[in-house]
Amino acid sequence: MAWVTWPCKKGKFRLRDLDQLASIEEVVGKIVRVGECQPSDIKTGEIRFSPKNMGIFWVQYPLAAANKIIAAGNLKIGWVVARVESLKAYPLQYHRCLERGYVRERCTNATDRSGLCYNCGTAGHKAANCFARTRCVLCEEWAA
């Protein structure tokens, strides 16, 4: 049996200042209670810690529920009060050629850049694990 779902507009936000004891399950549970939505509607990243040991957590959520959480401004999670920051929508970008403003159906570019890191533009690793200086492959090609 195949499931058919309606497209749902999503909002993105980030939680800042989580402590080392916060778990993803605890954070998602709090988001579900405040946003009044289902856990299956949430898309999250991992909790990443800064050098000051404060966690940052990225969340994508249905827009109506995300607006409730963003309006709250902060959430008490464990021992800390995490700040909620709204994230701007990313522009369209096709993953194969890395050009912006369109997706596959409109791509006329023959160049395949799908194996390159989004951060530094080199092959062999993903942006999530990249600590190199950020550089734009497209800008360097256009300047040459």
pLDDT in tens, 69-94: 888 889 998 889 999 998 887 778 88
Q: Which amino acid is at 77?
A: I
Decide if 68 contacts 36 (C-beta within 8 A): yes
Q: Is the pLDDT of residue 1 over 70?
A: no
Residue with structure tokens 């957590």?
57
Q: Cα separation of 113 and 27, whole Å?
A: 36
**Residue labelled with tokens 């939680």:** 15
Query: What is the distance between the terminal CA atoms of the chain, rounded to a whole angstrom?
Result: 53
